[in-house]
Amino acid sequence: MPSRPPRGGIEAVSAAVLAMNRRLEVREVLQTIVASARELLAAEYAALGVPDDHGGFAQFVVDGVSDEEWKAIGPLPRQHGILAAMLHEATPQRLDDVRDFASFAGWPRRHPVMKAFIGMPVMDGDDILGALFLANKQCPTRPEAGSHGFTQDDEDLLRILADHAAIALTNARLYERSRELTLAGERARIAHELHDAVSQKLFSLRLTAQAAAALIDTDPARAKGQLREVAGLAAEAADELRAVVVELRPAALDDDGLVATLRTQAAVLNRVHSAGVTFRAREVRALPAAQEEAVLRVAQEAVHNALRHAHAGAVTVTLDGHGKGATLRVTDDGRGFDPGSVRRAGRHLGLVSMRDRAGGVGGRLTVQSAPGKGTVIELEVPGG
């Protein structure tokens, strides 16, 4: 069981833990951990290193050092000295002067001077995820008094923070891995669809070319017409191959945002499929990352159903903003189904996973459909 936080630190620890758990990206979690630790312990400098398998660090995040100062310091540190002691022995370290450590070997020329030091390994069971360390304890009421030593209360507080940091970091890694697997599966599905579409075009091109070759001597005029069709089919195939390259890129939510990502994917599918796929957006604000992810995945699933299962001739995707939230609506003119047959149709059409995605971000999914009447999938998300 972790130690109880020192009196007066409970609220601060709670705020730090909440801040860590709001982050999903590993880098953001690391930065939040470091900033929270520095603030909680009133340190001048804080850092967290995630070790690699080659004696260095896969990631190294600092707080209290400007970008210019960090660049001037030079390459990332190696796993030596007191850092190695924490990482290899999995033991906390607390020193009045880090330069007194037995294997201390100095710093790079532009490295800030550090004296009082405290370090804590971040553990997941027996696995060492990283090392959290702080330097130069400051007096909050008298910063001009300079550095002081870290106390046992500081060590207890840092241990609690490190315990929660391990959970937040593990969750962030699982989230990123899950997203990678989702993207890989999505890319494989799209690749299969586009492969089928391109293969059909190339098969038609081959047959048309054979017909032109057979007519070239007996009916040159018809052969010319066939060759013109060959040129058109070749151009269409080239367009679809380019679409493969575009669509198989990772989802660009982080770089382009939800609206641009949906617009791009709709345009690609419109070119690839015989059905018309259109997209429209109106007054949409940026949503929290998890909600944008859910909206994108529900839209992809709904459009996939319309094209592959409902054999729709037209699919319309709309995204309308309302306050801080948004409403996604995917409408098709396909053959529809009976929403009451949830056990059969729900699984076949991915309705269960879409509802799970909606519920996971506080949203609401509704389905309107009937045999021969098309389908409307609507997702409302509240925003943040």
Q: Tens digit of pLDDT for each residue in 239-287?
A: 666 555 545 444 566 667 888 889 988 888 887 777 899 999 988 888 8
State mean pLDDT over 144-158: 78
**Residues forming CATH 3.30.565.10 domain(s) in the chain:** 253-384
Q: How confident is the model at residue 94 (pLDDT cuts 50, 70, 90)?
A: very high
Share of the chain above pLDDT 70, in %: 76
- The per-residue pLDDT of the chain, averaged, comes to 78
What is the distance between the alpha carbons of residues 64 and 43, in angstroms, rounded to a whole number? 9
pLDDT tens figures, 37-84: 898 899 999 998 888 777 778 788 889 988 888 888 877 777 777 888
Which has more pLDDT, 107 or 321?
321
Concatenated DSSP letters for 140-170?
SS-GGG-EE---HHHHHHHHHHHHHHHHHHH
Contact predicate 37/43, CB 8 Å: yes
- Is pLDDT at 177 greater than 80 in this prediction? no
Q: Identify the sign of the CA torsion 91, 95, 99, 103.
A: negative
Token look-up 């990206």 returns: 25
3-state secondary structure of 264: helix
CATH class of 253-384: alpha beta
What is the distance between the alpha carbons of residues 224 and 218, in angstroms, rounded to a whole number? 12
What superfamily does domain 10-176 belong to in CATH?
A: GAF domain (3.30.450.40)
State mean pLDDT over 121-141: 85
**Residues forming CATH 3.30.450.40 domain(s) in the chain:** 10-176
Least confident of 25-39, 124-138, 169-183, 282-296: 169-183
Q: Own/partner pairs for 249-253, CB < 8 Å, 24+ apart?
A: 250/183, 250/187, 251/183, 251/186, 251/296, 253/289, 253/292, 253/293, 253/296
